Amino acid sequence: MEGNKEASNNEIVKLIKNLTGEVRQLAVETKQNSTDIKSLTGEVRQLAVETKQNSVDIKSLGSLIEDLAGMTKRGFDDVYEKIDSIKEDITEIKDDIKLLKNDQSDLKVNQDNSAYRFELTAQEKTIAQHDQRIEVLEKRVLAN
């Protein structure tokens, strides 16, 4: 029985040594996990700081976007005003073209009449010259 007791004691010692080794291993792993947790805590803090900075950056970006939107709107308003002004100018030009066409028609009629008048005047001069010749010829005939 003493042999069994000794074997049992040896097994218990082995088990205790194994357990001690496992406990040491767990202690080392726990220490590493503790270090990892500390490292993660630092990273979380750093992320919190970066998130806060990003939040500030996002706020300033929001302000910049609002400024850009305002500038864009003003630019488009200026373009719309210029387009309206150009439309008014085009309308005025169209009206002027209509007036010019009417004036051109009037001038053409006047020119047509002018040509007729010039021809009439030329014919009247010719008739007047013929009348004078006839008078001269009548005087000669009556004088003979």
pLDDT tens per residue, range 64-113: 888 888 899 998 899 999 999 999 999 999 998 888 888 777 776 666 66
Nearest CA among 71, 95, 100 for reference residue 87:
95
Domain enclosing residue 50, as ranges: 1-113
Mean pLDDT over 111-134 rounds to: 80
**26 pLDDT higher than 60:** yes
Q: Domain for residue 76, yes or no? A: yes
**54 pLDDT higher than 80:** no
Stated length of the chain: 144
Q: Domain for residue 2, yes or no? A: yes
Mean pLDDT over 7-24 rounds to: 81
Nearest CA among 109, 88, 82, 84 for reference residue 96:
88
How many structural domains are present in the chain?
1
User: Which is more confident, 52 or 1?
Assistant: 52
Assign 1 to helix, strand or coil: coil
CA 142 distance to own-chain centroid: 100
* Residue 106 one-letter amino acid: D
Q: Domain for residue 135, yes or no? A: no
Q: Domain for residue 99, yes or no? A: yes
Mean pLDDT over 124-128 rounds to: 90
pLDDT of amino acid 32? 79
Q: Domain for residue 38, yes or no? A: yes
Q: Domain for residue 143, yes or no? A: no
pLDDT of amino acid 67? 87
pLDDT of amino acid 84? 92
Mean pLDDT score across all residues of the chain: 81
State the Rg of the chain over Cα: 59
Q: Domain for residue 41, yes or no? A: yes
pLDDT of amino acid 116? 66
Q: Domain for residue 86, yes or no? A: yes
Mean pLDDT over 17-36 rounds to: 80
Q: How far is CA 59 from CA 1, 44, 52, 54, 55, in A?
A: 83, 22, 11, 8, 6
Share of the chain above pLDDT 70, in %: 85
